[in-house]
Amino acid sequence: MSTNEIHLPAGLPLLSRGKHRSPRKGACFMELASVLAGEKWSDHPACTHPLLAALARQVNDYTSDAGRQRLARLIPSVIGMTGDDAHLDARIALRCATTALPVVSAERQRVMAVAVLAADRVLAELDHRPAAPLEEASARALAEVPDAARWAERFAGGMELSTTGFVRRSAPSIVRHAVAGIALACVSDPDGMLHDLLVAVVDDCTALLEPAAVAQPAEVAQPVPAPAHG
């Protein structure tokens, strides 16, 4: 079992597709997260980054009825995963795009290839390295679909990107297209791919958020005065 998979308390409603007015009608992934976080019943709780929550809702809805209950063990792992750093949005989008690109249908591959280039570029700019080469995972995913990669490179060559526009519009679109593409892909276990994608995104977010949480006490700690002698 992954470290992200945790046993939930008994008595919670089973996961099902869509939005629900109350637990009596069922629950989606993020609605159960809101309950476990002690928030008001909602599929948009404050405890989880909006794009991660969007991914979780879509994975919940695109996973088959047979495979959906396995997702429940991941719910606690998204609680507290939030922040306003644009690295989170770009990293989530890039993970979704690189995962989907090699398996989605040919008509979706161009969209995902452009998504890989865009998310990778935004991350480079956020890190103040705009001329940096592609990340290894980005280059590897693009190498698996050379025709789509060449088309995307031509298209993205003149593409203007702003971090604000990417976070507001591009990243949510990338997540939607990636999840739908994986769910409809000709792979042996799309449910497993969606589950593993959510696990990988949570791990990415943890890697971004934990260093800040660990560093905070050191930043505010005050030196202990030496005892007086006399």
pLDDT at 51 over 80: yes
To the nearest 10 degrees (0 to 180), the angle between helices 190-220 and 50-62 is 160
Task: Give dist(CA 152, CA 121) in Å, integer.
Answer: 13
- Across 62-79, b (16+ Cβ under 10 Å) vs e yields bbeeeebeebbbbbbbbb
Q: How far is CA 168 from the centre of its chain?
A: 15
Q: How far is CA 66 from the centre of its chain?
A: 23
Q: Measured between alpha carbons, how far is residue 192 from residues 8, 67, 188, 216 in Å?
A: 20, 8, 9, 36
Asked if residue 201 lies in contact with residue 52, where contact means CB atoms within 8 angstroms, the answer is yes
Task: Give dist(CA 190, CA 192) in Å, integer.
Answer: 5
pLDDT in tens, 64-77: 999 999 999 999 99
pLDDT in tens, 129-181: 888 899 999 999 999 999 999 999 998 877 788 999 999 999 999 999 999 99
Q: For position 10, what pLDDT does the model report? A: 54
pLDDT in tens, 186-229: 999 999 999 999 999 999 999 999 875 544 443 433 444 444 44
Nearest to 134 by CA among 108, 156, 167: 156
pTM across the whole model:
0.85
Q: What are the φ/ψ torsions at residue 224 (nearest 5 degrees)?
A: -80, 125
Locus of tokens 């008001």: 40
